[in-house]
Structure 1
């Protein structure tokens, strides 16, 4: 359960919405119980008056008060149910936003080497099913459990008020056992099974995705049938374990409902003695057992929620493990920088896990305001070196210190959003004038000015509405907007012709004046202006 603590802390950062949502659920439940109880009381009162009249005894009944109460509870239950659904689903969406933001912040803090340990299918499982298991934690588990305990306490208090303390104590003990069976009992019986099932579902989901991705290769090898049969066996195992977990939850649900019915019987039995003593009336005698039976609706939500709690904890454990930030192995901050230096690397060793080092004993000092170009053939390690400079990849050995920097990676990454939103990632507070100015630098102002939405033009999935050169220039513009004093550009002019490249490079010289620039490319014609050039061995 410790794995849930950081996510619960995130959920409880919105206490106002949680309390309001819980109050709406509470109002809905109380309206339902009130409707059931008043209806039982009214039916009983009507029956008794009818029997007295049939026996020739004068009797009266007030039809308006109970009738009005029934109408009130029926309408309020419907209204509160609607408000609760709208409000709490909005709350869940807000909590989902909080969870995803926190998750991506953790991913951004983790090293690239750590993130590469998982396949794309496994990351898909983390970002969908594991997050989904957490985003409804409040609505499925926290709120129903708290409200079940609160309503139970209110019903016990009502028993003490209408009957006596002895009956209330007995009913409270029975309901306490029912509550523990529906919650902790269900969790203890199903936690290991639910956690194992969650792991099996993730493995099956990953295997299905990999099967689809590799279908052509499996077909060529003639193994689609065997692999599909293996997937079916795995799916059968998952469904079998699901059925087992559902069975256990069902038994606990039946046990809690049995005890709720027992509490109603005990209340009715104790009420007969009070009725004979003239302490309570016949309608009140019926009202309380019916109110107790109304608890079944509340308790019905608990076994299913606690039956899945083990799987939710397993999802949280995977997210905590795979998205945790790593402490940097070397100092990559500005402390330890020589005077007037922007980047300082000594005795640097660069390697990917499981591979031979690309560089050993690498030394580099870049002064503030200096323009350095790094040239090398494909596979010489330029991009890996840039990843180490930027802190995305930890150095295997040595020391590295840099000032704050911004990094244009070799791969162009654009989000499925507007041009404005993609640019503002580089400088969230940039004005519209600054955005147009940077578009002029990369020669995209004339491209988007005629668009109906201009800066709000939708770029499509990964910038699919743009050509490769246009997408690269948007990514470059985003980096140039950033105020960081050190700029690392890995192949900044990919997809651009020589004329466009030369014009943009000339404008960039003015824009980057005073900044430290480290550019990496295959040839000197793909570099912006430089003060010196370093050639990497081929």
Structure 2
């Protein structure tokens, strides 16, 4: 467990919990006092109840003998829930105030570091930020509520119980000390040590789930366009299964450790029963014990001995309620401290600095999804290898809006390079979605090779590729990013397309070749390189039609020209449709149409 324990600098320079412990120190002390008092009242309630019930069952020598225990039963019975309510009110009030302030502070820190999250920090991903906001603050809250407070309260309670037993008998104190040490120290420490690896596995799996999920959601269009929806749906299955296995193992361990605790508890009851029998059946010791707890030295004291035995045995039952949560609290402690360490890496005093933690991802993911074999061509609708595109009297309007596309007739023969321009809001992206089949026209018909793309989505994506303004590269290896275009592509094919798009020299500098990690949003690649990798993905897919959706908008003039030259060279012989505002790129296309004018013209071919 030591490897997972926090190091001294983490605790010494903690800026997230210690300030609130100082601020709410009195509330913490009050919560501990109320928790201990609640447990003492619970034991006292069972003690007096056991004595009174056994006394009433045995027909007491006088009815007045029931008056005092019944009074104490009322006092402890009313006091216990009141103390419990007060303890919950005090502890939850200050802990929830603390976490509310911590969330506000975390948002401020993240806002200050927004530039890093936009791409200047190589160590912070959207998944890690999501984990901070969703898991780590909650874990730090649980560090107080479910670990520190129960552990401290139970240890203080154990000292109180041992001290009270020591007043009566050192034999009883020795029994209780041994049992309480086992339940409050040995069992929790063993639980934490035995489950440290499982806790680490859950944490690692959860991190991969957040990273993969945010990565995939941001790049969902690329998965759909590549026809690999099933891979998208199942890519985090390995992490989910790993997390589920670790949680199942921990749940099984918790059941076993609960059984062990119950056995220790039963041994304690038997030991106390034997002690009580030895004491209360010995007239000399009986007088001493009764004198200590009831100031009774009367000649009738031996008649009440069985009642005291019942009282002492029943007094032990509330102990399990107090000590049962400790193994779980200890097991969660390492995860909670790790969460605190991650929060401290976002220290408000150093919010302008990059994270000091280095990425520790392996060069190649061991849990990478297996490539899904391509379906047989017979599963597809038959589409010509040289399809033309035709829009016949196409109109489109979004719900409750005026038509944005009006009676467009457009014919694009295979192999043509077409640029579509127009003012913002003219419907350029809408027209592209109609061609891609993402939208269906309100009126008219769109066909690709004689097939309606909207009704044959699974088939048409193997014919059409798209290069976005901000191409999505996933937080995976370069090989896995390229394989989205063709999961069965060989190393030689991948290297060839990298050569074709002008990235071979850059590839030779990568530390692990095709197994080098492409960080989230391509932090370790320039904008032009990211476009070229996305283009290489399209080349591997060998799609007949490629749509460019504002591909040059975020590039400088020199990079734009380089990417344009690469696109035109590598996509020669394919149909190319570009939605662009860039005047400099229009000369490279066979035909340019202005959508604002096309809405009012006849057929263009």
Map 1:112-131; keep pairs closer than 5 Å: 112-113=115-116, 115=121, 117-131=123-137
Task: Give, in whole Å, the separation in 1 of the partners of 2:330 and 2:201.
Answer: 15
Structure 2 gaps, min length 5 = 290-304, 355-521, 527-552, 558-605
2:298 counterpart of 1:293: no
2:164 corresponds to: 158
> 1:282 pairs with 306, 321, 337, which one?
306
1:91 matched to 2:101: no
Query: 1:178·1:255 contact (CA, 8 Å) conserved in 2?
Result: no
Q: Aligned runs of 1:375-454 on 2, under 5 Å?
A: none
Contact 2:130–2:210 (CA<8 Å) still a contact in 1? no
CA distance 1:355–1:219, change in 2 (3 Å): closer
CA contact (8 A) 1:38 1:66 kept: yes
Check conservation: 1:37, 1:290, Cα contact below 8 A.
yes
Match of 2:227 in 1: 222
Instruction: Give the root-mean-square deviation of aligned CA atoms.
Output: 3.1
Distance 1:74 1:170, change over 3 A: closer
Give distance in 1, aligned partners of 2:111 and 2:225. Answer: 39
What is the aligned residue count? 332
CA separation in 2, counterparts of 1:213 and 1:295? 52
CA gap 1:102/1:289 in 2 versus in 1, 3 angstroms: farther
> Of residues 15, 18, 25 in structure 2, which corresponds to 1:9?
18
**Per-residue deviation, residues 174-221 of structure 1 (Å, max 9, x unmatched):** 221222233212111112321221121122133233333433332222
- Matching residue of 2:141: 135
Classify 1:111/1:323 alpha carbon distance in 2 versus 1 (closer, same or farther; 3 Å). Answer: farther
1:71-110 counterparts in 2 under 5 A?
71-100=74-103, 103=106, 107=110
Q: Is the 8 A contact 2:179 2:268 kept in 1?
A: yes
Residue 56 (structure 2) aligned to one of 26, 32, 46:
46
2:308 corresponds to 1:273: no
| Contact 1:190-1:310 within 8 A present in 2 as well | no
Aligned ranges for residues 98-497 of structure 1 at < 5 Å?
A: 98-100=101-103, 103=106, 107=110, 112-113=115-116, 115=121, 117-162=123-168, 164-278=169-283, 279=286, 280=289, 281-321=305-345, 323=347, 325=350
Task: Mark the CA change 1:108 to 1:230 in structure 2 (over 3 Å): closer, same or farther.
Answer: closer
Aligned residue for 1:247, secondary structure, equals helix
What is the CA deviation profile of residues 393-438 of structure 1, one whole-angstrom value per residue up to 9, with x for unaligned ones? xxxxxxxxxxxxxxxxxxxxxxxxxxxxxxxxxxxxxxxxxxxxxx
Inter-partner Cα distance in structure 1 for 2:218 and 2:97: 33
TM-score norm. by structure 2 comes to: 0.50
Alignment-derived partner of residue 363 in structure 2? none
What is the distance in 2 between the residues matched to 1:355 and 1:271?
A: 77
Q: CA deviation at 1:225?
A: 1.4
1:83/1:175 CA distance change after superposition, 3 Å: closer
Mapped contact 1:198–1:314 kept (Cα < 8 A):
no
Question: For 1:320 and 1:196, how far apart are their aligned partners in 2?
Answer: 22
Q: 1:158-177, CA deviations, whole angstroms, 9 ceiling, x for partnerless residues?
A: 22233x11231132112212
What SS does the corresponding residue of 1:207 show, helix, strand or coil? helix
> Following the alignment from structure 1 to structure 2, what is the Cα–Cα distance between the partners of residues 85 and 170?
31
Query: 1:211-252 CA deviation, whole Å, 9 max, x = no partner?
Result: 334333322222221232232332122111011122223323
Matched, 1:30 2:40: yes
SS for the counterpart of 2:236 is helix
The alignment status of 1:62 with 2:60, answered yes or no, reads: no
Which structure has the bigger radius of gyration? Answer: 2
SS of 2:124's equivalent in the other structure is coil
CA distance in 2, matches of 1:213, 1:380: 24
Structure-2 change in CA distance of 1:311 and 1:129 (3 Å): same
Counterparts of 2:122 and 2:6, CA distance in 1: 26
In the alignment, the residues of structure 2 paired with residue 271 and residue 160 of structure 1 have an alpha-carbon distance, to the nearest angstrom, of: 14
Q: Is the 8 A contact 2:162 2:173 kept in 1?
A: yes
1:123 positional shift: 0.7
C-alpha distance 154-118 of structure 1, shift in aligned 2 (>3 A): same
User: Cα 1:206–1:327, aligned 2, differ >3 Å: closer, same or farther?
Assistant: closer
> Contact between 2:122 and 2:523, CA under 8 Å: does it hold in 1?
no
C-alpha distance in 2 between matches for 1:149 and 1:24: 14
* Long gaps (5+) in structure 1: 51-57, 330-351, 357-376, 382-538
What is the CA-CA distance between 1:104 and the residue it aligns to? 5.2
Asked if 1 retains the 8 angstrom alpha-carbon contact of 2:201 and 2:243, the reply is no
Post-superposition CA distance 1:115-162 (Å, at most 9, x none): 563222321111221111002211111111111112122222222233
Q: Is the 8 A contact 2:37 2:83 kept in 1?
A: yes
